[in-house]
Structure formats: structure tokens, C-alpha cells
Amino acid sequence: MGKVTGFLEYERKNNGDIPVSERIRNFKEFHTPLAETERREQAARCMNCGVPFCQSAMKLSGMVTGCPLHNLIPEWNDQIWLSHDEHAFHRLNKTSNFPEFTGRVCPALCEKACMNGQFGEPVSVHDNELFLIEKAFAEGYIKPRIPQVRSGKQVAVVGSGPSGLAVADELNHRGHAVTVYEREEEIGGLLMFGIPNMKLDKAVILRRKKLMEEEGVVFRTGVNVGVDITAEELKAKYDAVVLCCGAKQPRSLAGADTEQMKGIWYAVDFLTDVTKSLLRTGGPDADAQQVRLPQKYGSVKGKHVVVVGGGDTGNDCIGTVIRLGAKSVTALEMMPEPPVERAANNPWPEWPKIKKTDYGHEEAIELFGHDPRVYETTVKEFVTDKNHKLTKIKTVQVKFQGGKLTEVEGSEKELPCDMLLIAAGFVGCEPYTAEAFGLKRTARGVVETAPEHYAANADGIFTAGDMHRGQSLVVWAVCEGRNCAREVDAYLMGYTVV
């Protein structure tokens, strides 16, 4: 513990943010890093606990707190304070394949379990992690690690989201020849197309892709397994196949006919098209109003937008449509408004069930003068014109009574609405790839395996990530990929050192 009294001497300080009025003009990342002296002081706040909950991934009251990757957080915080950045990076890299992703988009389960957070502000683990990985790239600590010995085994990974990339990274370093198949034009899955650029710059993903290619991983983009290439072809060519296709089957909204009504879209499809348009029209530096979406959307500028769903995807939709010039944004959430502080029955180190005001909400508050979120409310009716174009919606307040959702009588309201984005989560994987391999799926729509295992019901076929556990976080996808790689290696070699 390099600074015994650090947690007493230094207050928490986060990375800065570019002012809202500036950042909404484009899709560039908007966080500004601290000076190195300040960053080291933040690392010095780590108490080096004897039992560090931050790296525990404990399940308490049905929710996990602490890092699923079991990152060696106290160790590398201490090394940051001591200015031993290269050593600190290697301790981080031991457990985490892609800190540049989690350091940007992870909700920091580690911080929610930090001992400092019991009575004050937790250590800025999330920002410290990002500092380390970016320093490693800048200083050249990261070099291609090309396996000296190859096993002669070949593995196909289907899907290049965080779980697929983690599987590929682990198995390639083990010495297996890995080919990653991706149906989109570029790798990354939801990292690339589901998370907006201002939250995760796409150049960060391409930087990692280049490194993995130098290490021997082969990427084949624009190949849709189950359509462009058959399951039988893959099974004949490879010793093992790992399916990491995500859980992109969206949850629908009652009465929302996305085929017939013009102006209703699934959120991830919309965010994907925005990112593709952005990359084709000048990248994140381009003025936000220069982004040209597919014709089906028309222009977002001047529209009244309603987002249904209160998670990260809903927040990303808010930030995106603001940049595209929406006239107003309303976010509907069925659940009650959470408290600002922990309730008595939600003590540390449980996951804090408190209200989170994210970047999109902050931007809406500053731009429109009020929080865009409306709680305990859902859509009751969609109103369209004679051309089936959405013009407004009718909402109703709801309550959970006896475990059942009921409407509050007399609470109906009308809202102008030219565009409605459904960000209500997902109900499992798109079935066609699993069906091509003859795999069983659970009631939750994900591929069935034995508990805590990754082998599917067909020999040599494995699965990981959201396709295996359902919609989840990037950090869980990386964790799943690492664990799955270990199981694949044992299948291929009869033992594993992964």
C-alpha cells in the first residue's frame, strides 16, 4: 500500500467532460483525462483492503457486485501511485483482455463494491483502468504476442463482439489457429454498432483488431454463418466452433407494428444505422447534422422523439437523437423512480439501486430544461395519419400491484411523437444460427448448456456471451469468452493451461 493515508488525504475526482453545448455538435468522445499527478493521487485512495470486494464478483440479493474478471485492482492501483505504470499494466492485462473497452463502457461493478464507497466516494477504478491501457498503447508496453508454438488445431468463432474477441484472443495465445466470422462489414458486434461513438470511439476497436491480426487471428467480415456458409462446412473445416452471436432478438412493444407504422424502430437497429452512416460520412469529427441516415428514417432534426426503456441503450438513444437535432426527447420507463441514495434495505456492498443520471439525460436536461424520464408510464396507443406515419402517442401511468402491471385510471395523456425508439431489452439470440447447428435453446431464448459450462448439445460446438447468458454487460461477455476458451482448450487438448 504505497500511500497509507491516501483515502483520507484525497477526495475522489473524475475525468472531466466537455461542456454539453460543445459535445452535442459531433460524435467524438467527450471525457477529458486528469493530469498524471492527479491520476496517481486517485490511485492512492485505494486502501489495499485485506479482503477486496472490488474484485470479488459476489452475488448479493440477486445482483452481482465487484468485478467479474477478478481484476487485481489493489495491486495495479498501488503501482499507479508508485509510477510503475508498465508493471501496473501487466497486472491489469493478466485478467482483462480489453481494458480499453471496459474502461469506457463498463458501469464499474468494482466501484460499487469499493470499501471507500461505504461511507464516502469509491476509488475511481474505472478511470484508473482507462489511464493504464491508454498509457500502455502510447508508451509501447503493448506489443504483438505471437505464439511460438502452434497446436495444429483450428477453431472458428462466430461473432466478433466482446465475448467472441475474448475467445479468439485466449485461444490464439494458446497456440490454436483462430478464424473469426462476422456478418457485419466490420468487427466488434454491439461494441462497434450498438454503442455510440461518443461513448466508444470505433478507432479503439480497430486498433485492437490490428493487434490481434498481427498476433495471428484471422477475421472474415461480411460472412453470415447459417446463410453464406453452412454449419456443416464449418464443422468439417474446424476442430471446434464457438458461437458468440449475441442476444439481438429485440423485445417488442404491444401495439407497435414496426412493419406497417412509419416512425417506430428498434433502438439497436437505429443506433447501428447511425454508426454506419457516421463512419461513411466523415467519422466522429464530422458535424452531427452532416450525418445522413438511411432514407427510411428521414431526418431526425425537428422531430419529437420518444424512447421506451430506461437502460443504457435508452440513454444512448437520447444522446444520439439530441446530436441529430431532435426537437424534444421523452423517455418512458415502466418502473418507479429509484431513490437518489441507498435505501436501508440496500446496504453496501450490494449493487446500489439508485437513480443514475447518465450523459444523455444530462444533455437533455441542459438542452430542454428538464429530465427526459417519465416513470411508471407506458404507451397505450399509437396514433398515425392516413399514410400510417406516427404523429403522436397516448400514454398511461402503470403500477405493479400483486405482481401484476395495472393501469392507473384517468392517467392517460397525449404526446407528440414523430419517432419512437423501442429500447426495451432483448429476448434471446436470433434463432437461425443456433438452428443451423441443431442446438437446443432455453425458455429465455439462449443456447442451452450445462450450468457454468459452455459446450452445447452438439459435439465440438460451444457458446459464450449474450448468446449463452442473455443480454448483459461487456465485462460479463469478456468473462464468458475467457471461461469458454478454457473449456474449448480442454476439449481440443485433453487438458488446459488457459
Instruction: Choose the final residue of a domain: 376, 397, 422.
Output: 422
258 occurs within a structural domain: no
83 plus 225 within the same structural domain: no
Q: How confident is the model at residue 286 (pLDDT cuts 50, 70, 90)?
A: confident
Distance separating alpha carbons of residues 229 and 312, to the nearest angstrom? 34
349 plus 321 within the same structural domain: yes
**For residue 349, what pLDDT is reported?**
93
166 plus 120 within the same structural domain: no
149 occurs within a structural domain: no
Distance separating alpha carbons of residues 99 and 110, to the nearest angstrom? 13
| Structural element, H or E, at residue 158 | strand 154-158
**Cα 75 versus chain centre, distance:** 26
The residue type of 478 is V
389 plus 432 within the same structural domain: no
The residue type of 444 is R
Q: How confident is the model at residue 283 (pLDDT cuts 50, 70, 90)?
A: confident
Cβ atoms of 377 and 399 closer than 8 Å: no
81 plus 216 within the same structural domain: no
pLDDT digits (tens, 9 = 90+) for 294-325: 999 999 999 999 999 989 999 999 999 999 99
Instruction: Choose the final residue of a domain: 394, 422, 450.
Output: 422
144 occurs within a structural domain: no
> Strands, E, within 310-389: which ranges?
328-333, 373-375, 377-384
Per the structure, the complete domain to which residue 356 belongs is given by 264-422
pLDDT digits (tens, 9 = 90+) for 216-252: 999 999 999 999 999 999 999 999 999 999 999 999 9
394 plus 270 within the same structural domain: yes
DSSP assignment letter at 337: P
Question: How many domains does the chain fold into?
Answer: 3
Torsion of CA 228, 232, 237, 243, to 10 degrees: 70
358 Cβ partners below 8 Å, 6+ apart?
312, 315
Q: Is the pLDDT of residue 282 over 80?
A: no
* Mean pLDDT, rounded, for 17-34: 97
Cis peptide before 107 (omega within 30 of 0): no
259 occurs within a structural domain: no
The CA-based angle 278-279-285, given to 5 degrees, is: 70
122 occurs within a structural domain: yes
148 occurs within a structural domain: no
Cβ atoms of 99 and 132 closer than 8 Å: yes
What secondary structure does DSSP assign to 232-280, as a single string?
HHHHHH-SEEEE------BPP-TT--TTTSBTEEEHHHHHHHHHHHHHH
CATH of the domain at 282: 3.50.50.60
Partners of 307 in the beta sheet?
331, 421
206 plus 192 within the same structural domain: yes
**For residue 260, what pLDDT is reported?**
86
364 plus 395 within the same structural domain: yes
Distance separating alpha carbons of residues 274 and 184, to the nearest angstrom? 14
**For residue 1, what pLDDT is reported?**
63
Q: Is the pLDDT of residue 373 over 70?
A: yes
Distance separating alpha carbons of residues 294 and 225, to the nearest angstrom? 25
